[in-house]
């Protein structure tokens, strides 16, 4: 075993734009501060839609296309995905939001003013209905099970062993 030497090199690489952005609040007199864009999906409802090029098109190790084809197809994929999303949201976002707002408004109204009062009414009536139901069961069904129990109590089961 020989003496092993390690060489530690530490360097910080900072992009010029990132550097300027990080000191901007200190030097700026205009009050302009860099703020991160808001997270539009904070609960990760649409985590399954975060699809990248590598998730859709993947080449195994054994077969590869030309690098320029791979880079070009990646660029076209990202561009088309971006443009179609922008076009479709421009055309459909407001009408779909209107329809969904209408649907959820109607559902909320029905739930608040119809469903919950009916459920609360049933919950208030259930104790008296439960007493009547138990009386009916005790009167008609319990004697059947009682007599059936007496009848079947004389049955003996014997197992035969080999």
pLDDT category at 135 given cuts 50, 70, 90 is confident
Give me 151's structure tokens: 């009848």
Percent of residues, the chain, with pLDDT higher than 70:
77
Given a contact cutoff of 8 angstroms between Cβ atoms, the answer to whether 33 and 24 are in contact is yes
Question: What are the sequence ranges of the domains in the chain?
Answer: 2-154
pLDDT category at 133 given cuts 50, 70, 90 is confident
Give me 38's structure tokens: 């808001």
Given a contact cutoff of 8 angstroms between Cβ atoms, the answer to whether 70 and 59 are in contact is yes
The answer on pLDDT for 140 being more than 90 is no
What is the rounded distance in angstroms from the CA atom of residue 36 to the CA atom of residue 42? 14
């Amino acid at each position: 075993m020989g003496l092993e030497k390690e060489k530690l090199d530490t360097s910080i690489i900072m992009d010029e734009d990132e550097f300027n952005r990080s000191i901007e609040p200190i030097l700026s007199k205009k009050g302009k501060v860099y703020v991160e864009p808001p997270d539009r999906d904070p609960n990760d409802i649409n985590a399954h839609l975060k699809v990248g090029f590598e998730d859709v098109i993947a080449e195994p190790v054994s077969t590869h296309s030309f690098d320029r084809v791979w880079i070009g197809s990646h660029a076209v994929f990202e561009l088309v995905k971006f443009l179609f999303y922008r076009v479709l949201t421009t055309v459909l976002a407001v009408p779909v939001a209107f329809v969904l707002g209408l649907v959820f408004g109607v559902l909320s109204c029905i739930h608040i003013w119809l469903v919950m009062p009916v459920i609360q009414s049933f919950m208030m009536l259930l104790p008296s209905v439960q007493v009547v139901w138990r009386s009916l069961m005790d009167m008609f069904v319990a004697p059947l099970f009682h007599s059936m129990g007496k009848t079947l109590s004389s049955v003996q089961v014997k197992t035969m062993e080999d």
